[in-house]
Amino acid sequence: MHDDRSITEHRLRRVLHERIRPAVHSSPLPLTVERWDAPGEPVPVAEGLAAPYEPCAPGDTWGPAWGTTWFKVTGTVPAAWAGRTVEAVLDLGFDRMMPGFQCEGLVHRADGTGIKALNPYNDWVRVADRAEGGERIEWYVEAAANPVLVDHRATYEGDLRTSGDRPLYRLARMDLTLFETEVWELVQDLDVLYELMTQLDTGDARRYEILRALGAALDAVDLSDVPGTAAAARAHLADVLAAPANASAHRISAVGHAHIDSAWLWPLRETVRKVARTVSNMVNLMDGHPDLVFAMSQAQQLDWIKTHRPELFERVKKKVADGQFVPVGGMWVESDTNMVGGEAMARQFLYGKKFFLDEFGIDTHNVWLPDSFGYTAAMPQLVRLSGSRWFLTQKICWSQVNDFPHHTFWWEGIDGSRVFTHFPPVDTYNSDLGGAQMAHAARNYREKGWGSRSLVPFGWGDGGGGPTREHLARARRQRDLEGSPRIEIERPDAFFEKARAEYEDAPVWAGELYLELHRGTYTSQAKTKQGNRRSESLLREAELWAATAAVRVPGYAYPYEDLERIWKTVLLHQFHDILPGSSIAWVHREARETYGRVAQELRDITLAAQRALAGEGTEELVFNCAPHARRGIPAGGAGRPAQPPEPVTVEERHGGGHVLANGLLVVEIDARGLIVSVHDLRARREAVAPGRAANLLQIHPDFPNMWDAWDVDEFYRNNVTDLDDLDGLDGLEVAESGPRSATVRVTRSFGRSRAVQQITLRAGAKTLDIVTDVDWHETEKFLKAAFPLDVKADRTASETQFGHVYRATHTNTSWEAAKFEICAHRWIHAEEPGWGVALLNDSTYGHDVTRDVRPDGGQTTTVRLSLLRAPRYPDPETDQGAHTLRFSLAPGAGIGDAVREGHALNLPERTVPGAGPVAPLLAVDSDAVVVEAVKLAEDRGGDVIVRLYESRGGRATATLTASFPITGAVESDLLERPLAGSAVGVPTPADTVPLTLRPFQIVTLRLRRP
């Protein structure tokens, strides 16, 4: 036989596109359209309905960037259409190739009830299944003119304040039509068979069976009467659609999904509307398709529905009860997991799962994080402590260098906890269930021979509206179809139960799930990151002192509602495109403003509690919120600090510069303003590598191949400018000199920017503190601060949530080489046996570590902080302006010192006048055991919640002593529910609780009060 495949395939593509698809909606009748352009920000629905509308027609332009236009659509169903299925086609001017990234609409009835959303793949509204004729239509479409910002070019349309006022869209079509059901079904038949056929091998007989059937179906279609011949065409496809799948066919659990970024190329206020539009579509689709299962994560998004669309929320609750609408994820938002602090990550689960329990009575079992930019090694323990059993991610398939070796596996965290994890081989979280994607999932699945199933999240995301009726049609046809994987729409838990049952002994992956991409997100938008870190610290302070005051001070009311509201605000801004700095300018401008308000509220809460505790008096009391004693003040207590030891001295350095000393460290700053020596007197060790300078600011070009705000590519290192030129040195002076501290100020200019650094040594301190004020006006540049250390370290330790992770300093394999930029929280530590150095920070997350062998045979380990970037997309003004960044060098530090000093840097002391010392609410007698949070219980019963963890990576025994009466101590999960199998000791009459912790173990205690 002659090979005529290409001819038939081309014929099918053209006929389907030009004749059959357009025939789905026949006999179009134009509807009457009027418009009202809302001034400014979106208005309530009632205001939109009551607005003064003016005539308009298809072809009219509408919508400046971020504007809202209301369209009033009216018409009458012709009497001749009685008994037929009638739909309206409402096309706002969609680009069919970009669902979720352009204009969108929500259709309302005249009473304000939302009907369904409009988007490029969902531009229809059902009028009647069987029309009676004469039905009157009156709808109101709230249309959002969101600009298209996905082309990766610098644009000022990412903020309402700088966007243009030209119309972005042209109204395309507003018609009443007949919906030709048989034609629509033919489209689905042809679509599924064509995609399946093209995935089959050219030597497979099944491919030719489908080809011949498709040719016969096309022959049966009269192109001048597609509706009248669709049934005859379908008859030729019945046999090939009825052929059952092979017994060994891969099994796919399809879960409806609509990945909606809580902010990204749109502001938070637009996400509120995106969520309403998508959820409206889902409950509407569920009404006619009881087989649809739709999973939705992010409690915040459902809370927006509850707040802004209560009538829609009631429909959601019914669908949840019916089992079709499935809350998943268990977190407040799909947060970043690299930079979120430990306690904040615990609260993501606390408030997320609590919302699902309170609103729907559902205790979610899975953690659903398809799109975060890598996953912390602390996550498995947090998942288990939240009461969850499964973890799902997708983003690891984006890694540039190494293919992740598993799709179903046990993920082991830093403490040894394991969670059953699935990484869908379909390699997308917005699947269309098309044949190409389903074939890829089956081919790509790495557990062949051990497992036989995978999960596919399907539906258009980012405001694209979720699953469509076309997706469901594909799923039905591929449920049991020869040549295709078997597809079954089902709940995520059903998949995980089956997957674990068949593959209980799945392989283990230990440690972080590092994404070999988007490494620039550790640094972009420094003020967003700084706002997050400071909010986390301020929340710790506010809760500690408020809990202490609630227990100690009669009449003091613990601010439950305020703290919960603030926590939820901070958690929202940890979303994986806000905290990572990868959203438009509008998002980050609002974030800066929000963090400012949050900081003021928390300072007010803290001060009120501290004043209540301090009492009336004039004695200056220093409150220590850190989990370790400092300057003689116990953790969680207040009093007068002990007198500082040996005073600080300042001398001129030979050859220029200054020498600072305090009896513990001797610091030399040369004539260039660079630190050339930090000598540990007790250990008789030098921290700075010979011939090198520390605190060296360095500039790199920063123009990645793609994803400007997201990425730094390794080639940025090929060019570097050291800011050590005397011509750029504007000042070097002793700014402060006294027995308690001494400061050298260094001022230098570079490019269009200026940096002022204050290098401070304090009495009794083994840390050298550096405050860097940068007025940053560079473009596509990367600012680093380098510390070349005289330490032979094959690995470094980086703080992560509730512990630390080790990463190699060498590049023996592609896995290590890919980690050329890494994330650390408050500290990074390099050590050789017996002596190490910690580099601490107050708001920096990005770091890199390299190693070199010197001519003298010694090794230099260079640790650099990533301070600022200047990408131009999606925010062309990223990081421009003034910044204050704090970091410290701690020579001779062990891991325990790094933990202590990292907390001290991030939790400053506060001074309040009062009557006398304030004793801590509780104490722990081991520095290895760190108290992370002290608060009152969420159930408002007055019990005290204490969360603590082993911080050094070893076993620890400790005793917790409460300074208030307790009747019991119950180990709890993150939701403060009793934890089965707890090994917490029974309190003694002295109100002490014995503890034994494994490495990095997190323990949450509920201390019951009488």
Q: Which residues are catalytic?
A: 371
Look at strands 846-853 and 910-914 and give their pairing.
unpaired
Q: Order across the sheet with 366-368: list the strands.
A: 366-368, 390-392, 418-422, 408-412, 508-510
- What CA–CA distance (Å, rounded) separates 317 from 361? 10
Task: Give the DSSP per-residue string, 231-271.
Answer: HHHHHTTHHHHHSPPPTT--EEEEEE-----SSSSS-HHHH
Bridge partners, 177 (sequence order):
87
DSSP string, 943-971: PEEEEEEE-SSS-EEEEEEESS--SEEEE
Report how far residue 402's alpha carbon sits from residue 611's, in angstroms, rounded to the nearest whole number.
Answer: 55
Residues 6+ apart with CB under 8 A from 427: 394, 397, 440, 441, 444
Treating both helix axes as pointing N-terminal to C-terminal, what angle do 299-308 and 560-572 enclose, rounded to 10 degrees?
120
Helical ranges in 553-638 per DSSP H: 560-572, 585-614
Torsion, CA 217, CA 223, CA 224, CA 226, rounded to 10: 50
Query: Both tokens of residue 574?
Result: 């940890």
- Amino acid found at 136: R
Cβ atoms 305, 312 nearer than 8 A: yes
Residue 208 buriedness (CB in 10 A; 0-12 / 13-18 / 19+): middle
Helix, strand, coil distribution of the chain in percent, nearest 5:
30, 30, 40
Q: Phi and psi dihedrals of 414, rounded to 5?
A: -65, -20
Q: Contact, 741 vs 728, CB < 8 A?
A: no
CA distance 1002 to 416: 12
Q: What are phi and psi of 558, to 5 degrees?
A: -65, 130
* Rounded Cα–Cα distance for residues 428 and 394 (Å): 7
Separation between Cα atoms, residue 542 and residue 536, nearest integer Å? 10
Q: Interior CA angle at 188 toward 184 and 189, to 5°?
A: 115
Give alpha helix (H) positions in 16-136. 45-49
Helix, coil or strand: residue 895 = helix
* 8 Å CB contact between 436 and 191: no
Q: Which secondary structure element, helix H or strand E, spans residue 742, and what is its range?
A: strand 741-750
Query: Residue 634 in 3-state DSSP?
Result: coil
Distance CA 561, CA 936 (A): 12
d(CA 790, CA 937): 48
Where do the H-state alpha helices sit in 289-398?
299-308, 310-322, 342-360, 379-385
User: 961 exposed, middle or buried (CB, 10 Å; 0-12, 13-18, 19+)?
Assistant: middle
